[in-house]
């Protein structure tokens, strides 16, 4: 299970297969540094994607909802929940070779944009409400923030909410079957590229939908297996 931190993202786990700036590699992060084969480089994803455990307050959903003291979650910990992340050049997405490579490697053939603001999104109030209902999808939810920002909240293995702030240049993949929700932050605007493998299916299945194969597979791959990994690593330490 992902361990909690009271300082900005730091690493606590042995290598897992994680995306880095180049693509896919086996890596191990150290603080906000990313160590690949002995070379340590800054993990610049953290400039556009940050995550933390949420408090329990009923205040405005658009506020950060940090715990006191703050408990940050590293991108590596997110990856252990199946949440992948990249930093991309949002000013040049049309010609960005890195985006092209990710799309080719992961089969993201479909692409469109979703702009969330009253002027651009039909049925804005209803959509905002629906986005914030806890739900899952039977496919990955792939969002690349090309302008503005927003919060993608995901459940951890103990059902605690992790708030994932995605700013311009941040791209995340939420795995099929993970319970999550979305809200704008207090800046009230995001423009996100939506990617998909083949013809898109955006259907949200509001919680509970635990009987769906996508949910069962998620639990098997990212809850049970990861819990087992931790037990082995703890025993070996």
Ligand X SMILES: CSCCC(=O)/C(O)=C/O
Residues that bind ligand X (CB under 6 A): 114, 116, 131, 141, 143, 150, 180, 182, 190, 192
Mark the binding-site residues, compressed into ranges: 135, 137, 141, 180
- Please give the backbone phi and psi of residue 80, each rounded to the nearest 5 degrees, phi first: -65, -20
The one of Ni ion, ligand X, Fe ion, none whose footprint includes residue 190, by CB under 5 to 8 A per kind, is ligand X
Of 147 and 219, CB closest to ligand X: 147
Q: Where are the alpha helices (DSSP H) in 94-163?
A: 97-106, 124-131
Least spacing, CB of residue 54 vs ligand X, in Å: 16
Least spacing, CB of residue 80 vs Ni ion, in Å: 5
Residues 45 and 154: their CA atoms lie apart, in Å, by 18
Least spacing, CB of residue 131 vs Fe ion, in Å: 7
84, 77 in Cβ contact below 8 A?
A: no
Residue 115, beta-bridge partner list: 191
- Please give the backbone phi and psi of residue 227, each rounded to the nearest 5 degrees, phi first: -65, -40
Residue 121 burial (10 A CB sphere; 0-12, 13-18, 19+)? middle
Of 65 and 143, CB closest to ligand X: 143
| Contact positions vs Ni ion (CB under 5 A) | 2, 80
Least spacing, CB of residue 8 vs Ni ion, in Å: 17
Of 190 and 195, CB closest to ligand X: 190
Residue 221 burial (10 A CB sphere; 0-12, 13-18, 19+)? middle
The one of ligand X, Ni ion, Fe ion, none whose footprint includes residue 71, by CB under 5 to 8 A per kind, is none
- Measured from each CB, the residue nearest to ligand X is 182
| Residue 220 DSSP one-character state | I
């Amino acid at each position: 299970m992902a361990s909690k931190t009271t300082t900005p993202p730091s690493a606590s786990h042995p290598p897992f297969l994680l995306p880095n700036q180049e693509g896919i590699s086996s890596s191990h992060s150290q603080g906000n540094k990313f160590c690949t084969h002995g070379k340590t480089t800054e993990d610049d994803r953290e400039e556009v994607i940050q995550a933390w455990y949420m408090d329990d307050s009923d205040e405005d959903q658009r506020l950060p909802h940090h715990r006191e003291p703050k408990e940050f979650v590293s991108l590596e910990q997110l990856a252990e929940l199946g949440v992948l992340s990249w930093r991309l050049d949002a000013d040049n997405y049309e010609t960005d070779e890195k985006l092209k490579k990710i799309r080719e490697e992961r089969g993201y053939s479909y692409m469109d944009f979703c702009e969330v603001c009253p002027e651009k999104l039909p049925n804005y109030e209803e959509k905002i409400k629906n986005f914030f209902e806890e739900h899952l999808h039977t496919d990955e939810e792939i969002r690349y923030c090309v302008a503005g920002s927003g919060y993608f909240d995901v459940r951890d293995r103990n059902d605690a909410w992790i708030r994932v702030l995605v700013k311009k240049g941040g791209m995340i993949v939420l795995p099929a079957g993970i319970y999550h929700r979305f809200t704008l932050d207090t800046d009230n605007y995001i423009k996100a590229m939506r990617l998909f493998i083949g013809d898109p299916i955006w259907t949200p299945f509001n919680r509970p939908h635990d009987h769906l194969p996508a949910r069962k597979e998620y639990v098997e791959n990212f809850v049970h297996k990861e819990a087992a990994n931790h037990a082995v690593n703890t025993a070996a330490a």
